[in-house]
Chain A
Amino acid sequence: MISKKEVINIAKLARIKITGEEAEEFQKEFSAILDYFEVLKKIEGKEKKNNYSSDGFRKDEIEEFTDNTLEKGKYFKVKEIFSNDN
């Protein structure tokens, strides 16, 4: 079982705004899904930390931006982070 408060907190962590109604719906769904995940409690064993394997890395290269980004010259224009009324 997961509480409505926990659902609201997860949504906040995930940066998704949800309404009170949505929180209730997600609460029901997540509780059912997490119940289903309970079966994994029986699992013992070792966790392998890295599931990727690689045979080589590359350097990052600069790609051109296209007009569907909010570019302004070489910069992104973002909303203000600190505002006066805070």
Chain B
Amino acid sequence: MTIKEINQGIKEKKFSVLEITKSYLEKKDNLNAFITKTDELALSQAGKEGDSILSKIPYALKDNLMVKGTKTTCASKMMKDYVAPYNATCVEKIKGIILGKTNLDEFAMGSSTETSYFSVTKNPHDNSRVPGGSSGGSAAAVAADLVPYALGSDTGGSIRLPASFCGVVGFKPTYGTVSRYGLVAFASSLDQIGPLTKTVEDAETVFNVIAGKDKKDATSFKRKEIKKNENFKIALPKEYFVPEMDNKIKKLIEKAVEGLKTEKSSLPNTEYALPAYYIISTSEASANLARFDGIRYGFQKESKDLLSSYLNTRAEGFGKEVKRRIMLGTFSLSSGYYDAYYSKAQKTRELIKEDFEKVFQKFDFIITPTSPNTAFKIGEKKDPISMYLTDIFTVSVNLAGLPAISIPVGKIDGLPVGLQIIGKRFDEENLFQLAKIIEKKCQK
């Protein structure tokens, strides 16, 4: 059910808050979408009064978001028994009914949920395929209606990609509009929390509740008002409609924008975005994950002295992809390589921002496919680069700090296809309007 339907049902006394909560708690998770189920917490929250638009709605959170007194594992052995000592700001704002914590790639590092210490989540449309990542558990849970909606985090596409693979709506807000307090940091200049929902309207509802400046996150902003618009001019950048792409995906996107005011356009530095993203995100991760030393958090490997305790704890506590990224980041920042890698990546980031600024002088929105392919088989992508390429259409948005949404626009051989709308900074309101127009067209 959608948020809107549940609120309506409660208002019309079709069911009580407790009844709807129980009906969700009774659902079986055959997809491994959850790491932790919080039945007791949900039942106690369902018994409390609350009159916000989300206070009566059950939901789930990606397991890198903190809920006080509940395990927050980040899908890592390092944190498998860690209990959060406080609530994330978005949890405080929602005041809803928490059904559980969902699966993810370890520390949100991945595009398929396969790097989870708690094993992969299955795609509800085909159980032999991945749900996308890193918020794969949240996307699968929403798609299979194990929850009305869920929260995820998006560093390079981690909300939009799984939304696209699972056929749900996934929204990554403008950088800084949602407080990151209580989100375990991966790459702080790129991370942003956002909703995975069944409709655009629900995504808008959740966003309006969780957005806003928070004194606990110095990078959070007060939302800026942008004028409402109606006659949207849309750019279709040629770099996102490449010949190697599945032609059926291209056709579905073209059909979804038929009748809208579209024009071909270009974001010339697109090919540099992915390497720049992987250098910046791994560099930030190498610093952010230095805190997992076996002393302050979670897992510790007993060793003879302090240095060997660090070395052994991190060797056993982190999975392979996390180690790979920490080491890549350490390398990019190390003396002698900084100029060739990290500094080049930062320069690239500026060029990518400029690309978007130029296009937005002429257009209101940019539309692209969310991914060049549909959900792939579990175990199919074995080498790191082929996995990294999965994010090719989503990372630029994070580098530029823009808002973007993925909405389902149809299926190919039973597998969902997502369309991505990219907007100007803080232009969420208009972005939701355009997304609703396309959503309605695709339902016909």
**How many angstroms from the CA of A44 to the CA of B343 in the assembled complex?**
10
**How many angstroms from the CA of A11 to the CA of B315 in the assembled complex?**
10
**Total interface residues on B, using CB and 8 Å?**
65
> CB of B324 within 8 A of chain A?
yes
**How many angstroms from the CA of A29 to the CA of B387 in the assembled complex?**
13
Q: Is the CB of B286 within 8 A of A14?
A: yes
Q: Is the CB of A56 within 8 A of B327?
A: no
Q: Is the CB of A81 within 8 A of B348?
A: no
Q: Is the CB of A13 within 8 A of B86?
A: no
Per the 8 Å Cβ criterion, residues 177-197 of B in contact with A are 188-189
> CB of B303 within 8 A of chain A?
yes
* B 263-280 to A, binary, CB cutoff 8 A, 1 in contact else 0: 000000001100110110
- Give the residues in chain B near A14, CB-CB below 8 Å: 286, 314, 323, 326-327, 330
> Can you list 29 A-B pairs, Cβ within 8 angstroms, ordered by A?
A7-B327, A10-B334, A11-B327, A13-B334, A14-B326, A14-B327, A14-B330, A16-B311, A16-B318, A29-B383, A30-B328, A32-B385, A33-B278, A33-B385, A36-B275, A37-B341, A39-B272, A40-B279, A40-B345, A52-B189, A52-B219, A53-B219, A54-B219, A65-B85, A68-B82, A68-B83, A69-B296, A81-B306, A83-B304
Per the 8 Å Cβ criterion, residues 36-86 of A in contact with B are 36-37, 39-48, 51-58, 63-70, 76, 78-81, 83
**Total interface residues on A, using CB and 8 Å?**
50
Given A16-B314, A30-B327, A43-B272, 19 more contacts at CB 8 Å? A7-B327, A10-B327, A14-B286, A14-B326, A15-B293, A15-B307, A29-B324, A29-B383, A33-B328, A40-B341, A41-B340, A43-B351, A51-B349, A52-B219, A55-B222, A56-B213, A58-B215, A69-B296, A80-B305
> CB of B238 within 8 A of chain A?
no
- Give the residues in chain A near B385, CB-CB below 8 Å: 32-33, 36
Closest to A65 in B: B85
Closest to B335 in A: A13
Q: Is the CB of A13 within 8 A of B350?
A: no
* A 1-27 to B, binary, CB cutoff 8 A, 1 in contact else 0: 010001100110111111000000010
**How many angstroms from the CA of A78 to the CA of B81 in the assembled complex?**
19
> CB of B300 within 8 A of chain A?
yes
**How many angstroms from the CA of A54 to the CA of B216 in the assembled complex?**
12
- Give the residues in chain A near B306, CB-CB below 8 Å: 78-81
- Give the residues in chain A near B349, CB-CB below 8 Å: 48, 51
Q: Is the CB of B384 within 8 A of A76?
A: no
Min C-beta distance of A3 to chain B, whole Å: 12
* B 54-89 to A, binary, CB cutoff 8 A, 1 in contact else 0: 000000000000000000000000000111011000
Min C-beta distance of A7 to chain B, whole Å: 8
Q: Is the CB of B81 within 8 A of A68?
A: yes
Q: Is the CB of A10 within 8 A of B331?
A: yes
